[in-house]
Structure 1
Amino acid sequence: MEDPDGPRIFQGENATLDLVEKEKEAGWVRVKVEESWFTVERAFLARHSNYFSALFQSGMLESEQKEVYLKGGVHARGFLIALAVCKEENPTVCDPDELVDAVECAAFLQVPCLTEHLCDIIDSDNCLLLYHAAHIFGLQELFHGAALFLCDTYEDLRETAEATIPEDLLRYSQSLSPASYIAIGTHSPSMEQLRDSFRIVCYLDEKEEEWKHLTNLPTLCSTSMAGVAVLDNRLYIVGGVFGYGKDTLDGGFCFDPESGIWTALPGPQQPRKDFTFLGHEGRLYAIGGEFQKRCVATAECYDPQKGQWTLIQQAPRPVTSAACAVARRRMFVCFWKSPDTTDIYEYTPLKDEWKLATTMTRHQSYGHCMVAHRDNLYVMRNGPCDDFLRCLMDCYNITTGQWTAMPGHYINSKGALFTAMIRGDSAFTVKHMLTLEYTISAQEWKPRRQMKGFPKSGSLWTCLIRLPKTGPIEPQVDARGKKKEMPLKDGKEGFVDDIL
């Protein structure tokens, strides 16, 4: 399996240089894996592989050699997949033997981006294989990611898992907490003297098929035109409006389900409402929105560790309520243009740049949301103005760059679909009268089961959070020694005793 780019001839003004000599000058190295040779830049290998980085800096004889022979622990197919991932080529890996070779290569050569790629492609078809392989080769991040996926989809995979996965691995997966569907109504800040019994965060108890109380919103927290997102299994609510003038609220709150407490956090440098908000790779991103009755294009990110907001490259154009999703660790935002066009832009944090990914033109009215499953983006939109309650869906594949119109009308008896969350191969949607779970297939979303609706009408925020399996949460204090607000149950102070 010779490198597809070689052998090559480099031409100069007076002579033709042999490929090997040119590669020596450029700092290239030939890597032999099984019976195949790969010609790769040394700096490229050192940048992406901790194994090669340590080898080239070791000062040993091998560090200066122009040829490296990898003995055992790596197969040619796995190494080829690793090179493709490092070049950001997003290879499709479906064959079981190739998946195992890729896991082995990621573990032996310590290639973080290959490990991330394997975590990204975990699905119901390869979850059990990757889980077992990651355990064998000690790839902890992949092992834990596959365990979480199995935990979320255990009922679907139970029969195969119990027949193929060692009992101790099954126990570990089942010891984890599955992602719970969370819903929050739209509320303005309240007062201590006038508690609103509906100012609560609820979770869906899937066994009893109904919504249950999780925690109360902090008194000063607004979810009206606010930003709601989850990062590292913490719920963040930022901004929003208050008062008759719908003034912008400066600040936000963070809920930690492990402790059951809320903490305050600063608001963005640019006060904003009705903006796009999402968590990605350890940061929160606030994009666009409205300030002083003006639509803005400014954007910024928040580092929870530092407690700081930082301005980033502004959005391609001013936008409010833009739908967003993360697919394959890539961040996408919809920029809707009335009445017929939706531009989907990708924001790359490392480069701090926006790039147009695709444009969709469909006859539609206002309002839509977007979710990601595998390498697909699903864009939900209202039907034509004469059939507003119909909810239509289009699918964009970020690998092939192709759009597909999904068949069927996604609607319940009380209104159109405005919010959805993906867990495993299921999509959850909720309205006041009905909560629906769909099974996602290549052709359509197939209705799977229906449960009780959210016990409050109006717009909803939804997300997924892993709730602890432990018992009551003891009251805690913050760094300033103040007692935290504890959840309320049935209008009284108390503990969260019905989480799971």
Structure 2
Amino acid sequence: MELMSRSAMKIPAGEETEAGSCLRPGGGSPEPQLWNQGSQGRGDSLAVTVGGRVFVVDKALLTDHCEYFQALYQSGMRECLQTELHLRGLGAAGFVAMLGVLRGERPALGANELVEAIEVAAFLQVRALTGHLVDLIDSDNCLLMCHTAFGYGVRELAHRAALFIRDMRSELREELWSLPAELVEYIDSLAPCNYMAVCSHAPSPELLQDIQRTVCYLDEDSRDWRVLTHLPKESSTTQAGLAVLDNKLYIVGGVHDVSKKVMDCGFCYSPVTDTWSTVPSPKQPRYNFTLIGHEGCLYAVGGEYNRKAISSVEKFKVSHGAWSFASQLPCPAASVASAKARSRIFVCLWKAKGATDIHEYVPQEDRWLLVTTLVRKQSYGLCMVAHRDNLYVMRNGPCDDFLMCVMDQYNLTSGQWSAVKGQYGNSKGSLLTATVRGDSVFTLNRTVTTEYAIEDSRWRTKRDMKGFGRIGSIYTFLLRIPKDAAQLKESSRADSPGQHYGLVVRDPSSSARCLNDR
């Protein structure tokens, strides 16, 4: 994969860091093309010339979302009174992409459009555009994104692209030559995502075998499972909600025993400091629910209470430390299958006669939207994962054969369903615990852990590794483990099983040096 040089990006010499000098009143171009974006009704229209095209845009749209224009119109300069502005050194395609994002669209972008969009995000300081570019990172564009974003100083995008490359380093190793040596060094300094697993356990006395109450990670070099930390003895993962948010593991809810008494508090694990802390429980007691981490918040979706399914949804804003109620599910549901695709939250809700509704939760509007319905005779969605702009719904096999899973793929861009070739059963891992990393899917059962490569029409087996030989239901997720923390765990594997029992605390100073996903 060849990366564009800075000269090929059409950046005039001497202007790439002088955003203020790129703006002048008037300044038309020969035979400009007029693009009327329409007024939003909040302010005056502004004619902006970019790359030989004239865009008529509501000034409020730009000042609300672009830090560059916010600063300009608060400066008191004469440009504040102009109705026509000329942006030099920016590409029209990047400006079009920005306007689309500000209108709530999710435009797909080719390589040249990506470069111009990154340039616009850098010079005009458009957070929404940067967020959209982060959502578009994949194995086809991650190197271009990383290189360009570092060059223009879009730090969040550059870091997220670097993390993606780190997670897929083995697949991209032959293409890393196209990046500067210092950028490759930075990528290698990051901690990769580890495939993690934990079994369901209720609070227990000291006599319970400690090795079962553990959070484990897959050591892909040895193809074996290692213990990262032990669960606090007061915690329960039985019918609890588990989610990762900002590289921290949250365990919320759960029950004490067969009485279904709900836990009073939840727990949070930080791999950077190797410590557990407590978090409050939702206002509505619940178990067998789905916990989703998204943009600084946890969402407790559905579940059961007093052995009845509920439709209640609650939001926990970590920075505030409190739960609040959100818009309810369209119907009561427990153990809801969910997935996040390009920063969008989706859930499966089962219906009668083999129908599975896919709903999207829109946090900004606090509402649920019906996206599509999958109808398959004698079958319903059991698990869902996302890769790029595709949702993969795993369901029980034909004739109620729950030992086999079949899959359907829904493309969010085209709005089309298609069947994924083959069946995936317990002989090659259970897809009911599938987890996506890069272009791979990890699944497991007690006998084998399998990595699949995601291809256009099927999932191809890449390799088999040791199974997760523990009892109970299995939760899987991804977590970034600081390199020195993993080395410490490896060197202490011979320690007695009870050495780290309960709340784990150690000196975080060494871990703080590692670069991790925020």
Q: TM-score, normalised by structure 1?
A: 0.89
Partners in 2 of 1:3 and 1:235 — Cα distance?
51
Aligned to 2:204: 190
1:268-308: CA deviation from partner (whole Å, max 9, x where unpaired): 00000001111000000001111112211111011222221
Q: Does residue 1:34 correspond to 2:51, yes or no?
A: yes
**Equivalent residue in structure 1 for 2:461, among 413, 426, 447:** 447
Aligned to 1:178: 192
Aligned to 1:2: 33
**Equivalent residue in structure 2 for 1:64, among 81, 84, 88:** 81
| Percent identity between the two aligned chains | 48
Q: 1:107 to 1:339 in 2, by over 3 A?
A: same
Partners in 2 of 1:182 and 1:339 — Cα distance?
35
Aligned to 1:55: 72
Aligned-residue CA RMSD (Å):
2.5
Q: Give secondary structure in 2 for the equivalent of 1:309.
A: strand
Aligned to 2:106: 90
List gaps (5 residues or longer) in structure 2.
1-31
For residue 192 of structure 1, report the CA deviation from its aligned partner: 2.8
Q: Does residue 1:120 correspond to 2:126, yes or no?
A: no
Tell me if the contact between 1:287 and 1:298 (Cα under 8 Å) persists in the aligned partners: yes
Deviates more, 1:234-243 or 1:364-373: 364-373
For residue 364 of structure 1, report the CA deviation from its aligned partner: 3.9
Q: Give secondary structure in 1 for the equivalent of 2:139.
A: coil
Q: 1:23 to 1:397 in 2, by over 3 A?
A: closer
Q: Give secondary structure in 2 for the equivalent of 1:218.
A: coil
Q: Does residue 1:164 correspond to 2:148, yes or no?
A: no
**Equivalent residue in structure 1 for 2:124, among 94, 103, 109:** 109
Q: 1:148 to 1:415 in 2, by over 3 A?
A: closer
Aligned to 2:242: 228
Q: Does residue 1:378 correspond to 2:384, yes or no?
A: no
Q: Give secondary structure in 2 for the equivalent of 1:241.
A: coil
Aligned to 2:308: 294
Q: 1:432 to 1:193 in 2, by over 3 A?
A: closer
Tell me if the contact between 2:217 and 2:225 (Cα under 8 Å) persists in the aligned partners: yes
Deviates more, 1:211-220 or 1:240-249: 240-249
Q: Does residue 1:135 correspond to 2:166, yes or no?
A: no
Partners in 1 of 2:60 and 2:369 — Cα distance?
28
Tell me if the contact between 2:445 and 2:467 (Cα under 8 Å) persists in the aligned partners: yes
AA matched with 1:348 = V
For residue 48 of structure 1, report the CA deviation from its aligned partner: 1.7
Q: Count residues with an aligned counterpart.
A: 472
Q: Give secondary structure in 2 for the equivalent of 1:81.
A: helix
Aligned to 1:19: none
**Equivalent residue in structure 2 for 1:422, among 436, 443, 448:** 436
Q: 1:416 to 1:130 in 2, by over 3 A?
A: closer
AA matched with 1:143 = A
Tell me if the contact between 1:487 and 1:496 (Cα under 8 Å) persists in the aligned partners: no
Aligned to 1:355: 369
1:309-363: CA deviation from partner (whole Å, max 9, x where unpaired): 1111111111100111111111111111244011111111111111111111112
For residue 366 of structure 1, report the CA deviation from its aligned partner: 5.6
Q: 1:301 to 1:3 in 2, by over 3 A?
A: farther
Tell me if the contact between 2:33 and 2:52 (Cα under 8 Å) persists in the aligned partners: no
1:59-96: CA deviation from partner (whole Å, max 9, x where unpaired): 21101100011122x111111111112112211112x2
For residue 415 of structure 1, report the CA deviation from its aligned partner: 6.5
Tell me if the contact between 2:302 and 2:332 (Cα under 8 Å) persists in the aligned partners: yes
AA matched with 1:460 = I
Tell me if the contact between 2:378 and 2:400 (Cα under 8 Å) persists in the aligned partners: no
1:347-384: CA deviation from partner (whole Å, max 9, x where unpaired): 11111111111111112446611111111111111112
1:440-499: CA deviation from partner (whole Å, max 9, x where unpaired): 12221111111000021432000000001115899xxxxxxxxxxx999541315999x9
1:171-198: CA deviation from partner (whole Å, max 9, x where unpaired): 1000000000000111111123444421
AA matched with 2:88 = K
